[in-house]
Structure 1
Amino acid sequence: MFSVRSRCLSKRLSPKTKSQCLRLQTSYAPFSSSSRRNGYDDTIQNLKIGKDTRVIFQGFTGKQATANAKESIEWGTKIVGGVKPNGSGEHLGLPVLPSVKAAMKELKPDATGIYVAAHQAAGAIEEAIEAEVPLIVAVAEHIPIHDVMRIHSMLQTQSKSRLVGANAPGIISAIGRCRIGFQPLPTFSPGHIGIVAKSGTLSYETVGSLTRAGLGQSLCIGMGGDVIAGTNFVDALKVFEHDDDTEAIIIVGELGGTSEEEAAEWIADYRRRTKDPKPIAAVIGGFQAAPGRVMGHAGAWTGLGEGTSETKYKALERAGVTMVDHPAKFGAVMKDILAQSGRSVKKIEQSAAQAQQKRSYHTSHFPSRPQFPASRAQIPQQKRSLHLSADQNAKILNQYSINVSSEPSSAPSSHLLGITVARTDRSPCIIAAPTTDPTQLQKRVKRFPFDYRQGPTQETIQFALAYLQFDASPPKAKAQAVELVKNLWKMYVEKEAIVSTVNFTLNEEQDEITIYDPYLFFDDAAFKSNKRQADLHSLRDKSAIPPAELEAEESGIVFVPLASPSTSSGAASVSTQTPPSSSSEGPRNLVGTLVNGAGLAMNTNDVLSLRLSSPPFSTSSANFLDTGGKATSKTISTSFKLILADPRVSVVFVNIFGGLTLCDMIAEGIILAFKEVGVNKPVVVRLRGTNEEKGQKVLEAASLPIKAFDDFEEAVQEVGRLANGGKA
């Protein structure tokens, strides 16, 4: 979040320009309502789905959509038909229309679920926007970010359609029996707790805890883990505030972006202006994330000017939010804070139990804190699977008339300037800082958003240069800086970058700028999903990627080795870390983690560090491993191979909460690993979610040396015991 005042700091602005700047920046102020520059905020009410919500599916006749539709219909969702491009007829006894426009006219849906592959998803979303479907739910991951920014430039100029996703599990009203997404239905139960989450698997953990506690759920909104979310935490909080079925709220966040801090600001204001505010609890993942890495979700990385997991946690805590370290605790915690707020827990439990029999519904017609380890203070540059060398980056920029020089030996001042994503504004932006000092960048970097389809206007460029106090520079240098922004934007669009920045300084002798130290961060989804940027992708040097990470990538696994903790007085400390090593030196008692879902994988590493890094234990996680939502038995076997290749690993912890991932399939993969890989380390398995009983029976029948648990805390304690010399 950036204030109006902080974006207009230059004293060199004329009164007229200052006035224009204030008007422009006010239009981007967070938490504004319909007075914002567009009417997209007016569509927040479209999130209130329920029993009467009429739903269509795009990609209706596909295998995934068909299976999902059958489940949803049986559960109670009012699916009224679907769309197949240029098709017609019936499917599952429901009408199939050739276009969303035709479906809107004949079926009058309130919402659409988009069940198409990533390379088709952007077009499907745009078609739904053009047809003015009130609620659009996109579950696909790996949609290229430039497609997403173009979609949001459309959404920002209308007030009919609301987007949930992409890369999200969807939205579900447990109390209204309406599911638009792929959430595991057996986990949900009608109740009175509203949930908004970045992570699918962490949200399922949250739901499972509430169901076991007898509280149930009202409305669950999957914000998703993309860089830009169609619906964010504040949007969801505005719905929950006025929802009579919601008695309390849960936020599930993680590193990346500033949405948690924005939620904290909204909550602080809500608690000030509300006589009896609803209790709110939260969990944040990513404390143990590897610095400079994208942790599974496309948006799970910390950019310049963005907070760490620790700062997000503290911001929410200061706002009066009850924080937990693992979502399995939410059931008991929510009962406590409901009682503390004066609400009757017994009455809420009784109401939830009654809702199982007689459904209430939303309407779609609209008349003491745990001590986490400190995060790294400096934010290193992001590493992604598509990374290029400094020379390659310089050559790319040269194609756009940006000539890169070596860093000047001495310069009176230097600046950072570039193009990146403004996640809050759901748009690209100019990013600028009047310094390149790494210790100052986080505090001094500012973003200047602009419309994706329009590009940076002259006015926006002038505001950015004014912030750099470069607007009064010699005409030649100033013109070069303006041209630099325009050329960076051209490269940014044509090469589908996520971040493109350079440092520059003023050569006072020649009255011109010297450009150096370029940083380019490209979107690998553009190639992997849509086969765009093949020439750029061909430049990738695979020899620079560790073989284990390359094998993981080829198997659809996200695998990130974590640094080894140094030891002090027998306890692991993550404040000073050394790179992963396969040498004979270093710890030999780390935990290899195998988890489904990026959010759950991050949280698993966080909790292992929190529980096991101090006496009587002394261990930590060796890796981050997300099998993905579509893991197979072979994927699990490969995951074991990658984990066990690390000599630091003394025990393997398999932590699964099944959604799309089936627990019985995970169990079969574990058995396959014992046969193919030769598992010679203790294995602790915790299975919850879809087909958990089948998975437990598969493991039991295999008679393998595996410690199996239902309870997360019990599993963690066993992991700690085994890692510290306990016998399997």
Structure 2
Amino acid sequence: MLPRTRCLSRNLSTTHRISHTSYNPFSTSSQRSGYDDTIQNLKIGRHTRVIFQGFTGKQATANAKESLQWGTHIVGGVKPNSSGEHLGLPVLPSVRAAMAELKPDATGIYVAAHQAAAAIEEAIEAEVPLIVAVAEHIPLHDIMRIHSMLSKQSKSRLVGANAPGIISAIGRCRIGFQPLPTFSPGHIGIVAKSGTLSYETVGSLTRAGLGQSLCIGMGGDVIAGTNFVDALKVFEQDDDTEAVIIVGELGGTAEEEAADWIAQYRKRVKDPKPIAAVIGGFQAPPGQVMGHAGAWTGLGEGTAESKYKALEAAGVTMVDHPAKFGGVMTEILARPGRTVRQSEHTTPRAQQRRSYHTCRFPARPQTLPEIIPFQQRRSYHLTPDHLITLLNSYNIPISPTPSSTSPSPSHFLGITVARSARSPSIITSPTTSPTQLPNRIHHTPFDYRIGPTPSTIASALSHLQLDAAPPKATAQTASLIHNLWALYREKEAITATVSLSVSTSEDGIEVHDPYLLLDDAAFKSNGRQSDLHARRDTSHVPAAVLEAEAHGIVYIPLEPAAQCATHLIGTLVNGAGLALNTLDVLALRLASPPTCTAAANFLDTGGKATAATISTSFKLILSDPRVSVVFVNIFGGLTLCDMIAEGIVLACREVEVGVGVGVRKPVVVRLRGTRESEGMEVLRRAGLESVFAVEGFEEAVQEVGRLIGMRRQAA
């Protein structure tokens, strides 16, 4: 991938909204009204009849056993071209056959990413009311094709992909892989991008005795089948939901759209349900994708800070960490005129209450680099020569960048993802000025299966402000859009953009400064685009990042200012959202001076971490000489806390926590979630002097602060 030579990273405005002329997220246009009609399908409960696709697989079987025991009304499943029985339930050869015989209300898709798109399409064609896709790394273009199908129908609703699923704690219905011991029946609705942050939220509520009604995993992909506004509409009408929690993060505009909806809701409803929220990603470096495929800030999109401010301005109570939600919601619901209905099977425990709202995150310095260092596991990095060759093959010749004194102004044009429209779009701006471009970006969405229509292209050309350009230049620009779309579709790009100038000599256009971001999930999940994968340029990727990638770990070294670059905290976290929030809170509590970052890295082991990946993660963290203290922050879902503890013990014994310097570096470990007691016992039995096991998140952060302070004083 070739970085653009101009500064085109993130929008610095805290109030910006992405502009769509042909799409409004609250519109009832014919394009969206059909799919909008399926929002009611999210109301799952004891009545919901569930089938599994991939029913007889190992993971589906284990999940089904747990869900059945918990009370989920699973009525059978599907195994292609097979019939029979599994777990005492019928197995059908197709989803259509299952719909006819079992009459399900929902399907959970438990197949690998390379099979998931076909499974979703089969469920849409069979008109299953609710489709839950949990798989990560489904290629983006498969998802856009699926949403083209969904937008033309009014029977099926999609949750996911790359999401923990949906669960009704009060209705004992789980479709997903959420950790069941964490949940309790109650009356708080939750919608979240991050799985681990949603588990933190649930755990905090359960410990406070509140419990949950309906929890919807929006998921961390670029495009979500169900977004915050969809969930809010369900919660508004749900009598079992007394209050709502939103768990967001950087990337897209879903949080800002939720803020707009909430502001209108609070105006039109006499006694609106209280809403609280947390946002992750304040410390994310510009131009980086932070674990989740969708956790990056595109042109014209707001930052974590702008999302926070938008929600706060709409009357939402903001917290800095989800472990505080239990205390927050208890206090909110105990205000005059409200009562707290306790959950059925939990005993309230003391909650930390200090500074849980009106908190202020220190904004990350917004100086934008001249070259944006995109480094993400779902992208290719092509050399400039390979990129130019690729563009030439699509009849897109590249000219040198015009000088700053050129009389011809540059315009910005490309194809990218319109996340809210759930489709590709033409992205345009009449200027490429770094100071003006973010606020002048315009998206014109179009149907993935149809491509840009003449009216779509005409709208894009209008916003480019080429009205006064000669007809030849306008015709060439229209042709350029078609060529960019062919490249975008055939090579499975996430974003493909160029700058263009109207030539004064030939009355045509000159194309320059290309930028290409290509999704590698098509290769890694489905074996497509192998030619591009073979040309990947890793010459500028740090060795530690490549080693992490080989082990399925996302490792991003952070680059604090020179005066802040010693005695930093190395973080090891399971789940991208929790990793983002961990960095945010460390910066909020421990940065010294306040403008410094406290951490040296973002390290996400993923939701299926093993003892081996934990050990490798330790080695990566400790290879950074800036690290003085390691903070392991785990909330177990699929990840088992005792297995994490075993990995910590293994790592400490192998690398002696201080490899290369002969000094033991302290490790603070906070384990919550699945098998947390067993995990703490593993650490206790190991008797490692350098490991400090702490139960609560705030206590863990304080312990990290104490240890880092000691290291700094001793230096």
Q: Which residue in the other structure is 1:697 paired with?
A: 681
CA deviations 1:498-540 (Å, max 9, x no partner) are: 0000000101221010100000000011111111000001111
For the pair 1:223 / 2:218, whether they are aligned, the reply is yes
Between stretches 171-180 and 376-385, larger displacement belongs to 376-385
Q: Which amino acid aligns with 1:383?
A: Q
Q: Which residue in the other structure is 1:715 paired with?
A: 700
Partner SS, residue 517 of structure 1 = strand
- The correspondence of residues 150-165 of structure 1 with structure 2, limited to 5 A, is 150-165=145-160
* Percent identity for Structure 1 against Structure 2: 72
2:375 corresponds to which of 371, 377, 383 = 383
- The correspondence of residues 576-655 of structure 1 with structure 2, limited to 5 A, is 586-587=565-566, 589-614=567-592, 620-655=598-633
Residues 353, 535 of structure 1: CA spacing in aligned structure 2 closer, same or farther, 3 A cutoff? Answer: same
**How many angstroms apart in 1 are the aligned matches of 2:382 and 2:336?**
54
* Kept after mapping to 2: 8 A contact 1:175/1:355: no
For the pair 1:530 / 2:521, whether they are aligned, the reply is no
* Kept after mapping to 1: 8 A contact 2:124/2:150: yes
Between stretches 462-471 and 492-501, larger displacement belongs to 462-471
Partner SS, residue 542 of structure 1 = coil
Q: Which residue in the other structure is 2:124 paired with?
A: 129
> 1:201: how far off?
0.1
* Stretches of 4+ aligned residues off by more than 3 angstroms: 1-4, 33-38, 377-383, 614-619
Q: Which residue in the other structure is 2:11 paired with?
A: none
1:494 corresponds to which of 490, 496, 499 = 490
Q: Which residue in the other structure is 1:96 paired with?
A: 91
Q: Which residue in the other structure is 1:336 paired with?
A: 331
Partner SS, residue 331 of structure 1 = helix
Q: Which residue in the other structure is 1:670 paired with?
A: 648
Residues 426, 206 of structure 1: CA spacing in aligned structure 2 closer, same or farther, 3 A cutoff? Answer: same
Q: Which residue in the other structure is 1:682 paired with?
A: 666
- Structure 2: stretches of 5+ with no match in the other structure: 1-14, 348-356, 659-664
Q: Which residue in the other structure is 2:51 paired with?
A: 56
Residues 447, 327 of structure 1: CA spacing in aligned structure 2 closer, same or farther, 3 A cutoff? Answer: same
CA deviations 1:669-722 (Å, max 9, x no partner) are: 011102222213100000000010111111111111210011000000100111
Partner SS, residue 451 of structure 2 = coil
* Kept after mapping to 2: 8 A contact 1:617/1:721: no
Q: Which residue in the other structure is 2:464 paired with?
A: 468
**How many angstroms apart in 2 are the aligned matches of 1:268 and 1:217?**
24
* Kept after mapping to 2: 8 A contact 1:43/1:160: yes
**How many angstroms apart in 2 are the aligned matches of 1:725 and 1:355?**
39
CA deviations 1:269-303 (Å, max 9, x no partner) are: 00000000000000000011122111000000000
Q: Which residue in the other structure is 1:540 paired with?
A: 536
Partner SS, residue 436 of structure 2 = helix
**How many angstroms apart in 1 are the aligned matches of 2:474 and 2:408?**
17
* Kept after mapping to 2: 8 A contact 1:390/1:518: no
Partner SS, residue 113 of structure 1 = strand
Residues 524, 54 of structure 1: CA spacing in aligned structure 2 closer, same or farther, 3 A cutoff? Answer: same
Q: Which amino acid aligns with 1:694?
A: E
CA deviations 1:282-332 (Å, max 9, x no partner) are: 000001112211100000000000000000000000000000000000001
* Kept after mapping to 1: 8 A contact 2:561/2:596: no
**How many angstroms apart in 1 are the aligned matches of 2:105 and 2:594?**
55
Q: Which amino acid aligns with 1:457?
A: T
**How many angstroms apart in 1 are the aligned matches of 2:55 and 2:226?**
24
* Kept after mapping to 2: 8 A contact 1:196/1:222: yes
Partner SS, residue 160 of structure 1 = coil
Residues 428, 34 of structure 1: CA spacing in aligned structure 2 closer, same or farther, 3 A cutoff? Answer: closer
Q: Which amino acid aligns with 2:655?
A: V
Give the aligned length. 676
Residues 334, 614 of structure 1: CA spacing in aligned structure 2 closer, same or farther, 3 A cutoff? Answer: farther
* Kept after mapping to 1: 8 A contact 2:54/2:109: yes
**How many angstroms apart in 2 are the aligned matches of 1:619 and 1:598?**
18
* Kept after mapping to 1: 8 A contact 2:499/2:511: yes
* Kept after mapping to 2: 8 A contact 1:378/1:439: no
Residues 566, 274 of structure 1: CA spacing in aligned structure 2 closer, same or farther, 3 A cutoff? Answer: farther
Residues 437, 596 of structure 1: CA spacing in aligned structure 2 closer, same or farther, 3 A cutoff? Answer: same
* Kept after mapping to 1: 8 A contact 2:283/2:363: no
1:370 corresponds to which of 359, 363, 366 = 359
For the pair 1:402 / 2:387, whether they are aligned, the reply is no
CA deviations 1:207-262 (Å, max 9, x no partner) are: 00000000000000000000000000000000000000000000000000000000
Partner SS, residue 462 of structure 2 = helix
Partner SS, residue 344 of structure 2 = helix
**How many angstroms apart in 2 are the aligned matches of 1:691 and 1:74?**
18
For the pair 1:446 / 2:442, whether they are aligned, the reply is yes
Q: Which residue in the other structure is 1:353 paired with?
A: 344
> 1:354: how far off?
7.3
RMSD: 1.9
**How many angstroms apart in 2 are the aligned matches of 1:474 and 1:725?**
69
Residues 667, 381 of structure 1: CA spacing in aligned structure 2 closer, same or farther, 3 A cutoff? Answer: closer
CA deviations 1:52-110 (Å, max 9, x no partner) are: 10000000000000000000000000000000000110000000000000000000000
- The correspondence of residues 198-213 of structure 1 with structure 2, limited to 5 A, is 198-213=193-208
> 1:561: how far off?
0.4
- The correspondence of residues 98-177 of structure 1 with structure 2, limited to 5 A, is 98-177=93-172
Q: Which residue in the other structure is 2:409 paired with?
A: 413
Q: Which amino acid aligns with 1:161?
A: S
> 1:383: how far off?
3.2
Give TM-score, length-normalised by structure 1.
0.90
Partner SS, residue 539 of structure 2 = helix
Residues 37, 655 of structure 1: CA spacing in aligned structure 2 closer, same or farther, 3 A cutoff? Answer: closer
> 1:629: how far off?
1.1
> 1:442: how far off?
1.1
Q: Which amino acid aligns with 2:138?
A: I
Q: Which residue in the other structure is 1:31 paired with?
A: 26
Residues 150, 618 of structure 1: CA spacing in aligned structure 2 closer, same or farther, 3 A cutoff? Answer: closer
Between stretches 469-478 and 51-60, larger displacement belongs to 469-478
Q: Which residue in the other structure is 1:73 paired with?
A: 68
Partner SS, residue 179 of structure 1 = strand
> 1:390: how far off?
2.4
Partner SS, residue 416 of structure 1 = strand
Residues 244, 499 of structure 1: CA spacing in aligned structure 2 closer, same or farther, 3 A cutoff? Answer: same
**How many angstroms apart in 2 are the aligned matches of 1:159 and 1:180?**
21
**How many angstroms apart in 2 are the aligned matches of 1:616 and 1:276?**
40
**How many angstroms apart in 2 are the aligned matches of 1:139 and 1:326?**
25
Q: Which residue in the other structure is 1:233 paired with?
A: 228
Which gives a bigger RCO, structure 1 or 2 (Cα 8 Å, sep 6+)?
Answer: 2
* Kept after mapping to 2: 8 A contact 1:417/1:503: yes
- The correspondence of residues 251-262 of structure 1 with structure 2, limited to 5 A, is 251-262=246-257
